[in-house]
Chains A and B, each alone.
Chain A
Amino acid sequence: MYTRGRPTQGWPAKSPRGYRTSFQTKTEDLLRVMTKRSGRLYLLLGFSVAVLVWFLYAWSFKLTHGEIVLGLGDWGPGGGATWGLYIGMFIWWVGIAHGGILVSAAVRLFKVRSLAPVARIAELMALIGLVCAVSGILMQLGRLDRVFTSITAVLPRAIQHSPLVWDVTVITLYFVLTGTYLLLTLRHDIYVLRQRLPPLLSPLYRLLYFGYHPEEDEKVERMVWWLALGLIILAPLLLHGGVIPWLFALLPSMPGFYGAATGPVFLSLAIVSAFGVVTVVTFVFRRVHHWQDIFPNHVFATLGKAMMFAALAVLWLQLQLNVTGLYAAPIGVARVTSAKLDSPGYWMAIGLIAVSFLYLAVQSWMPRLFSVGRTAVAGLFVVLAVLVEKTLFISEGFTHPGFQLYETGSYSPTWVEVSGVVGTIFIVILYFTVLTKVIPVVEVKVLEEK
């Protein structure tokens, strides 16, 4: 069927016996889901859209009434927190967006074959993660109406000194690279499956594989390799191990933010949440669409191991922070460290990560304890933990400023801010629900393999 149209060289006619069946079954699975419409699907779509309408309402409520509807305030005599949940959420989503790059790089650069089935999901996650992150920034901006004119007017100069501009620039670069990466690998799949994809969307598909020729595959593979290399260098050096922590690490005004350790701490949390989200999303796909063949157990075993090491790094770096922050620390650092250790939210976050780490460690040593469901729960735990930790990092940084004459401030998010977080989560749900019906969410090349 897929040999119709332009004849392809070698593949799949020269494939070994048995290959065709396996490939067909898995591809059938994928295509079945792409064309299937069910009541549950429409229910999910309807609910997601309703949440998104609420999300937009909350945003417009903020735009109409001003930032007073957020739980924020001026730090200093005012005793508030300048930033809160929105910025915590921003860091959380950027960290999650790393999942795409880390998993992809593992597959394309280091040939970790067991993660190959989830590479595309991870890349798709990276794209939408960045969109959600940027929406966090936009929601916390006071004057959205001026952003474009104000930034473009001074961009060449501002990029020389403003960490926020570095941040926007790197995220844009990251977005373009990830999008290119995805498009390059997608063209082949769309072309191969073009006769069997929903006919309604054929103009879109024709656009996607415009000018495709099977001989480009080899070249594309090389391009993708180089892109992966670029991204894997960019992610830890410039994004979550660089520009994002520098938003805070460079400012001595807040002892909770300042310091060289902020970068490694951010990166460790980003990596653990990235693997966590990829695990959860893959689990949901497997569960909802009965894709046990496409995402076999060993995929989860590998994700679990990666998550375990990342969680260990998180715990170790937190230990470093807390010991140096308590032993003989300057007053400001000691104050913010003890406040952090006094908050149940912090212990909840650390507890969730520790429990996940312990379970994943035991599971990787004793395979009989392995469970896909529990691995996914561990993923969910670390993702939640990182959101809580990030938000506390931001708000407690502000409520314990370096200028100790001011009293300790306070911050409580309001429904408007929480709606922002819930809204972005549903943006991701809606995105994956729709995309599953539009493009193959697993690479066809991976499905070919036995």
Chain B
Amino acid sequence: MTDSKDHTTQPSTPDMFGRQWEEMSKEQLRAAGHDPDLGVEVARDALRVVGGQLSEAQFLEKYHEGYRQEFGVDGRPGNPARAEEAREAFGNKRISRRTMLKLAGAGAAGFILLPLLPRQLQAVGAGEAVKETTETNWSLFQYGLVIDLERCIGCLDCAVACYAHNELMPWQHWIYVASYVDGNQNGTNFLPITCQHCSNPPCVKVCPVEARFKRKEDGLVLIDYDTCIGCKYCQVACPYGINYFQWRDPDREAHVEKYWGTRNVSGLPPGNERKVNVTGRPPRSVMGKCTWCPERQGREDKKGNLTCELVCRSRVLHFGNLNDPESKPNRYLREKQRDKGYISTFRLLEQMGTGPNVIYIGQQPSAKAKLVAGPVAYKDVGLMDSEAALEHPKPLWFSNVLRGGW
């Protein structure tokens, strides 16, 4: 157990397995007749390769001679000349039967251990962050949010700040804090839900006018308010229920600075990008949703955080580039892991294939989770927790009958 705790503190540093492990490994290598120092060095650098600090080519080159001295052949999969080296070694009978067996053993161990290492890191380490770095191109920038459910107290400060900042209507919860009870969790739990700014957003796919788009430079999913025709298909396709249509003229004036996003609307070659209206609340009859504050991300002095994140007293929200291991969310994941020894993370409705970019720390609500009143009621902070109280015209008598109301 102590070992596994050690693994997780600094996933991509050479000392992650600790001194105890090193001693043990050296002893085993010595017993097998190998050079123990080379073995430990190789193991350390293999981790650097996994962590991305060392390229595979560098790794191959660094130990090429060492491998040839030790085994007569550098049998690592990345070595293009390994077949030739092996033929040469066997042909010249430079390798004894015993060495041959050792070689086979080392190869097998490498085969088993190397693929295991990153998986081990994912399982117990700062899982999500490292997974991202091994699977995606580091040059890609994807904003993401780490939400620590273990710290959320349901105070609704984030919801109020978002409402005020974006000049929303009281029923538009661009960040909705769901309070729920669940069979397998104690007491009332909270789940703040924002737009997940998915890597494979279904809302972008279905938009008939390409008003919904995923910004290349930082991965934000935004709505071009001047193009949207209000068909609401994005709301239909989104599995998270985070879209809010502007059902009527907002009764307040908008102050959020407009036109903070750029995009190449007409698919012309680069250089034809134009400013688009994507910030704050949408105009009437247009879809809106959490934007992750592009008006902040567009300014050097403000970028890298969100309005809701800044007001959160409990440090629940951590916003930043998920593809950068040193970003705020990834650092938070690592620190939490180090302090607590283990963490459980999940992404919401990941099975839908949307590739959500919000990582929750804590327990996922089960299918039996039920919404309950939170410690702070929405109406106490000037918001509405559902649209039931909206002033629709009176429903017609038969509609209730058809729905089962009689």
Set of chain A residues within 8 Å of B155, measured between Cβ atoms = none
**Contact string against B for A residues 61-84, beta-carbon threshold 8 Å, 1 for contact and 0 otherwise:** 000011111111111111110110
Asked whether A414 lies within 8 Å of B392 as measured between CB atoms, the reply is yes
Taking the closest CB of chain B, its distance from the CB of A143, in whole angstroms, is 5
Please report which residues of chain B, range 351-394, place their CB below 8 angstroms from some CB of chain A when the two chains form the complex: 352-353, 365, 367, 369, 371, 385-388, 390-394
Set of chain B residues within 8 Å of A413, measured between Cβ atoms = 395-396, 399
**Contact string against B for A residues 427-442, beta-carbon threshold 8 Å, 1 for contact and 0 otherwise:** 0000000000000000
Taking the closest CB of chain A, its distance from the CB of B10, in whole angstroms, is 36
Set of chain A residues within 8 Å of B241, measured between Cβ atoms = 74-78, 401, 403, 406
Given the known interface contacts A77-B386, A83-B236, the answer about A348 and B396 at a Cβ–Cβ threshold of 8 Å is no
* Stretch of B13-21, B43-51, B173-181 that contacts chain A: B173-181
Asked whether B207 lies within 8 Å of A158 as measured between CB atoms, the reply is yes
- B244 CB–A CB distance under 8 Å: yes
Count contacts between A and B, CB distance < 8 Å: 202
Asked whether A68 lies within 8 Å of B244 as measured between CB atoms, the reply is no
Please give me the residue from chain A that is nearest to B241 by CB atom.
Answer: A76
- B248 CB–A CB distance under 8 Å: yes
Asked whether B239 lies within 8 Å of A146 as measured between CB atoms, the reply is no
Please report which residues of chain B, range 206-224, place their CB below 8 angstroms from some CB of chain A when the two chains form the complex: 206-211
By CB atoms of chain A within 10 A, which of B191, B286, B395, B406 has the most?
B395
Asked whether B367 lies within 8 Å of A404 as measured between CB atoms, the reply is yes
Task: State in angstroms the CA–CA spacing of A162 and B235 once bound together.
Answer: 14
Please give me the residue from chain B that is nearest to A349 by CB atom.
Answer: B402
Asked whether B392 lies within 8 Å of A342 as measured between CB atoms, the reply is no
Task: State in angstroms the CA–CA spacing of A165 and B211 once bound together.
Answer: 13
By CB atoms of chain B within 10 A, which of A80, A163, A415 has the most?
A80
Asked whether B229 lies within 8 Å of A151 as measured between CB atoms, the reply is yes
**What secondary structure prevails in chain B residues at the interface with A?**
loop
Given the known interface contacts A143-B285, A252-B239, the answer about A406 and B371 at a Cβ–Cβ threshold of 8 Å is yes
- A253 CB–B CB distance under 8 Å: yes
Asked whether B385 lies within 8 Å of A164 as measured between CB atoms, the reply is no
Taking the closest CB of chain A, its distance from the CB of B350, in whole angstroms, is 12
- A157 CB–B CB distance under 8 Å: yes
By CB atoms of chain B within 10 A, which of A75, A141, A143, A410 has the most?
A143
**Interface residues in chain B, defined as those with a beta carbon under 8 Å from any beta carbon in chain A:** 171-173, 176, 178, 180, 191, 202, 205-211, 227-233, 235-249, 265-267, 284-286, 349, 352-353, 365, 367, 369, 371, 385-388, 390-396, 399-404, 406
Q: What are 18 A-B interface contacts by the 8 Å CB criterion?
A: A69-B392, A71-B392, A71-B395, A73-B390, A141-B230, A141-B231, A142-B231, A150-B211, A153-B227, A157-B267, A158-B209, A164-B231, A252-B353, A345-B403, A348-B402, A402-B239, A404-B367, A412-B395
The 9 A-B pairs with the shortest beta carbon distances in the complex, nearest first, are: A142-B230, A76-B241, A142-B285, A412-B395, A345-B402, A66-B248, A253-B239, A78-B387, A68-B248
